[in-house]
Each structure stands twice: as C-alpha cells, then as structure tokens.
C-alpha cells in the first residue's frame, strides 16, 4: 500500500491537471493505493466535483481513495526557491514534502516551481550521507531502450567528485527502476578519449575508472539517441546540470518535430503518428525523481498534462515500492567515505 501526496496547486494547468491526473492514476491502480491532494481545500473540492460529474463519472468510486490536505499558500513559478521556502511555509509544496519527511506520505509529486521543490526537498528530506548535492534524473528514449540522464538541471556547475556521485546514484536508479542488472555508465563529453572535455570531466573520468561501477568511459551526444556507443549499450549518462538541461530541452523538441515531418510526408493524421511514436512523448515519462534526498520527490514539467501527472504518480509508486531511496543510501555507505554537505544550485 502506498500513499502519494500530489501538489494540486503546482503547474501551469493546476488545479485541473494534477487532480485529473490523480483520478486517472487511481482508476488504474489497485484498491490499496491512496492519493493526497495538497492545496487549497475549497479550490480542490470545486475542481474535483466538476471532474467527477463530467469526465470521471464512470470512476467516481475512486473518490474514497482521495484525501484533501489543506495548504492555504501557493508557491508561484516566479518565486525564488529560498524565499518560497521561508515565506510560504504553509504552501502545498512545503506541506506535501513535509508529509514525506514525517512519514505521513510515501512520495510527493509536483509540477510546480522546480527550484522551490529542490530547495524544500533538500531542507526537509535532507541528503544521504556522503553526498554534497542531489541530481535530477530523467529518462531519455533511444533507438534501443530508455536511458537515465543525470543531472538535468539541479546543479549548473559540478565538481569531479559530484559527477562520480551522480554515477553511483544513477547506477542504483537503473537497477531499481529500469531493471538493469549491471548498468553501464557513460560520462558525457566532446569526445570518447579520456583527455577530451573540460577540467571537471577529465578529472571525473579518472575517478570513475576506480569507482567500482560499470564505467564505459566518455560518450558523445550522438550516442544518446542510439542508446549505444562503440564500447556497448548505455544505461546511464552523467553530466552537469547546465549541459543536461540543454540536452533535455533539445530532446523534448525532437518528438513534435518528427511527428510533424512524418505526418506531412506520409499524409497521415498527426495523432495517428504520435500514437505510433509514443516513446517520444514526454508525457509518457511523467516526472523525474530528485535523486540523493532521503525520500521520494518527483519533479514534473510545469506544463504537465493529466497524463503526465498520472505517469509521474506511477514513477513515484515504483520508486517507493522498489526501495530506491534506501538502496541509494546503502550503496553510498558501502562505496564512499562518509562526508556531508548541503550545497545546491537553483
């Protein structure tokens, strides 16, 4: 049984998208699972009643597995992360993450302010021992099978040791959620040779050779769509958040472009093509976990649709049921000297 807290006020299409996504998720999940909608009670109740009368009348019975948790304040997309945490302690973002920290919920999902979610997760959930920063891990589709890329936005600048930490975290994620028995990790660079890259990448390469993981060496941008490099299939790609975020947003633009091109050339309806190429639909992946914190905090795109929220809830559930967070803590304790830190770039 899992209890997932969802930020009903977060995202460009809130509260409708988060609430509809929660209803979609509950209709597909077993009866033991429960969702908490965190936000302004009156707003949530009005939207929920309307959806249950219209789109979701056939699954109205799932209402029994929905709880509303009052949170009178809302973190806006324009709020600075640290200010949002300090000035809006009763926001849906802070209260939702606090419920995970206090053991009242097993995971938190939000399409709201990413920086605020990272800051609140870091302060309330805290980092695993041995980590200096968390990382956002996102699934990228490839011609072979999906790969995990991290970091994609939490940390603009990274030290070599932090890239090594991301490789360790990514290895555990790939084992727990992607069912890869011995994940192959690549370090994103401008060439496959060890001497290619900036100072941080070159130093990280040397450290990864002795990190006790399945390190493939450097991989290039062209290797990601294929899911394989000259040394074999790739499961995890490590990079700093500046590079990763640019890569992520470029990747997100490819799907609509390809669908439009194929539709035009083949004379097909774009929706039909999209159905055949659903692996290019970012909504299929829903959300990305903030890896390295002591709890499940799923970050969804600000423009998340109900479908994306539904899939983000499924990601949260898998992360909880797999014990991913605990596995990361154990793996770090086994392989890294005990150091602590709390730096984050937002």
Tokens read off for 41:
């009670």
Residues 121 and 141 in one domain: no
CATH number of the domain to which 32 belongs: 3.40.50.10950
Greatest C-alpha distance within the chain: 62
* pLDDT of amino acid 94: 97
* First CA to last CA distance, the chain: 34
pLDDT higher than 60, residue 157: yes
Torsion-angle region of residue 343: left (phi > 0), alpha (psi -120 to 50) or beta?
Answer: beta
Q: Which residue has the higher pLDDT, 143 or 262?
A: 143
* pLDDT of amino acid 335: 67
State the pLDDT confidence band at 279, using cuts at 50, 70 and 90.
Answer: low
In-domain check, residue 329: no
In-domain check, residue 332: no
Tokens read off for 151:
């970091």
Residues 45 and 139 in one domain: no
State the pLDDT confidence band at 71, using cuts at 50, 70 and 90.
Answer: very high
* pLDDT of amino acid 134: 93
In-domain check, residue 31: yes
Residues 128 and 34 in one domain: yes
Enumerate residues 6+ apart whose C-beta is below 8 A from 297.
97, 100, 107, 108, 117, 121, 125, 289, 290
| C-alpha angle 283-285-287 in degrees, rounded to nearest 5 | 95
pLDDT higher than 70, residue 274: no
Q: What is the DSSP letter of 144?
A: S
Element (H, E) at 139: strand 138-140
pLDDT higher than 90, residue 50: yes
Are the C-beta atoms of residues 18 and 37 closer than 8 Å to each other? yes
Q: Which domain holds residue 147?
A: 135-283
CA distance 133 to 262: 41
Residues 115 and 159 in one domain: no
pLDDT tens for residues 121-140? 999 999 998 888 999 999 89
Tokens read off for 87:
């000035």
* Burial (CB count within 10 angstroms: exposed 0-12, middle 13-18, buried 19+), residue 191: exposed
Residues 139 and 277 in one domain: yes
- Which string of DSSP letters, residue by residue, matches 206-269? HHHTTSSSEEEEEE-TTHHHHTEETTEE-SEEE--HHHHHHHHHHHHHHHHHHHHHHHHHHT--
- How much of the chain, in percent, has pLDDT values that exceed 70? 92
In-domain check, residue 54: yes
Residues 153 and 236 in one domain: yes
Enumerate residues 6+ apart whose C-beta is below 8 A from 68.
36, 37, 39, 41, 44, 45, 48
Residues 127 and 197 in one domain: no
State the pLDDT confidence band at 251, using cuts at 50, 70 and 90.
Answer: confident
Enumerate residues 6+ apart whose C-beta is below 8 A from 218.
186, 187, 188, 189, 191, 192, 193, 194, 196, 197, 201, 205
Q: Per the structure, how many domains does the chain have?
A: 2
Q: What is the mean pLDDT of residues 254-258?
A: 73
Residues 272 and 296 in one domain: no
Range from 22-31, 50-59, 163-172, 246-255 carrying the lowest mean pLDDT: 246-255
Peptide bond into 272 cis (omega under 30): no
State the pLDDT confidence band at 345, using cuts at 50, 70 and 90.
Answer: very low
CA distance 190 to 205: 13
CA distance 326 to 332: 10
Residues 197 and 263 in one domain: yes
CATH number of the domain to which 262 belongs: 3.40.718.10
- Write phi, then psi, for 219 (nearest 5 degrees): -125, 155
Peptide bond into 151 cis (omega under 30): yes
* pLDDT of amino acid 277: 56
Instruction: State pTM to two decimals.
Output: 0.87
Residues 141 and 258 in one domain: yes
In-domain check, residue 330: no
pLDDT higher than 50, residue 344: no
Q: How many CB atoms lie within 10 A of CB 272?
A: 13
CA distance 269 to 250: 24
Residues 156 and 176 in one domain: yes
Rounded to the nearest integer, the mean pLDDT of the chain is: 89
Range from 56-70, 175-189, 191-205, 330-344 carrying the lowest mean pLDDT: 330-344
CA distance 274 to 3: 32
Residues 140 and 275 in one domain: yes
* pLDDT of amino acid 278: 57
Question: 91: which strand partners?
Answer: 73
């Amino acid at each position: 049984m899992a209890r997932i807290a969802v930020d009903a006020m977060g995202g460009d299409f809130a509260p409708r998208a988060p609430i509809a996504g929660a209803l979609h998720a509950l209709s597909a999940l077993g009866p033991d699972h429960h969702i908490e909608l965190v936000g302004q009670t009156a707003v949530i109740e009005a939207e929920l009643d309307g959806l249950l009368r219209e789109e979701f009348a056939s699954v109205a019975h799932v209402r029994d597995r929905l709880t509303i948790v009052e949170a009178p304040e809302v973190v806006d997309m324009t709020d600075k992360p640290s200010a949002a945490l300090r000035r809006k302690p009763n926001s849906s973002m802070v209260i939702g993450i606090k419920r995970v920290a206090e053991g009242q919920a097993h995971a938190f999902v939000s399409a709201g302010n990413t920086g605020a979610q990272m800051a609140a997760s870091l302060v309330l959930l805290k980092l695993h021992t041995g980590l200096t920063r968390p990382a956002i891990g996102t699934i990228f589709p490839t011609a072979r099978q999906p790969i995990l890329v991290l970091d994609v936005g939490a940390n603009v600048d990274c030290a070599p040791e932090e890239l090594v930490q991301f490789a360790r975290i990514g290895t555990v994620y790939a084992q727990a959620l992607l069912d890869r028995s011995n994940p192959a990790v690549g370090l994103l660079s401008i060439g496959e040779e060890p001497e290619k890259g900036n100072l941080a990448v070159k130093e990280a390469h040397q450290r990864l050779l002795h990190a006790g993981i399945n390190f493939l060496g450097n991989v290039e941008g062209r290797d990601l769509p294929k899911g394989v490099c000259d040394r074999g299939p790739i499961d995890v790609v490590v990079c700093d958040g500046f590079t990763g975020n640019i890569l992520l947003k470029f990747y997100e633009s490819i799907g609509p472009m390809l669908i439009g091109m194929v539709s035009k050339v083949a004379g097909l309806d774009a929706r039909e093509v999209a159905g055949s190429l659903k692996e290019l639909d970012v909504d299929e992946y829903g959300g990305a976990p903030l890896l390295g914190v002591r709890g499940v905090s799923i970050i969804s795109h600000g423009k998340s649709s109900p479908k994306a929220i539904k899939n983000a809830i499924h990601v949260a559930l898998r992360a909880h049921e797999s014990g991913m967070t605990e596995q990361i803590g154990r793996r770090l304790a086994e392989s890294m000297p005990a150091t602590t830190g709390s730096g984050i770039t937002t």
